[in-house]
């Protein structure tokens, strides 16, 4: 489970060979949410509202990179880090 980004205490992960639809995992303290890449909806889990807002803001800026990372992960290829939110 490679960590592809981290900002403001939020860690973003993507698993190799994970199930569709394309998504990433966001962890903040004891919370975890699975976020779909195409529409940035929460598929499972939850985050506090402020943390979720930051994740959605970050993902909006990096949506194409996330989609590319998903394809690489599905192919078992190494994942690159994605710039954090500043």
pTM here? 0.95
Task: Find the domain containing 50 and state its range.
Answer: 3-74
Q: In this predicted structure, what is the pLDDT of residue 1?
A: 73
**Does a structural domain hold residue 64?**
yes
The two three-digit tokens of residue 59, written as one number: 């993902």
**Does a structural domain hold residue 57?**
yes
pLDDT by residue (tens digit) across 34-75? 999 999 999 999 999 999 999 999 999 999 999 999 999 999
**Does a structural domain hold residue 85?**
no
SS3 sequence of the chain: CCEEEEECCEEEECCCCCCCCCEEEEEECCEEEEEECCCCCEEEEECCHHHHHHHHHHHHHCHHHHHHHHHHHHCCCCCCCCCCCC
63: Cα within 13 Å, side-chain hemisphere? 10
**Does a structural domain hold residue 18?**
yes
**Does a structural domain hold residue 79?**
no
Q: How far apart are the C-alpha atoms of 9 and 37, rounded to whole Å? A: 21
Count of domains observed in the chain: 1
């Amino acid at each position: 489970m490679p960590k592809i980004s981290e900002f403001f205490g939020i860690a973003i992960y993507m698993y190799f060979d994970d199930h569709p639809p394309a998504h990433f995992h966001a962890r903040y303290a004891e919370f975890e949410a699975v976020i779909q890449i195409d529409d940035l909806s929460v598929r499972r889990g939850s985050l506090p509202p402020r943390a979720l807002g930051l994740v959605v803001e970050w993902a909006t800026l990096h949506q194409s990179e996330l989609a590319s990372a998903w394809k690489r992960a599905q192919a078992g290829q190494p994942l690159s880090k994605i710039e954090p939110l500043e």
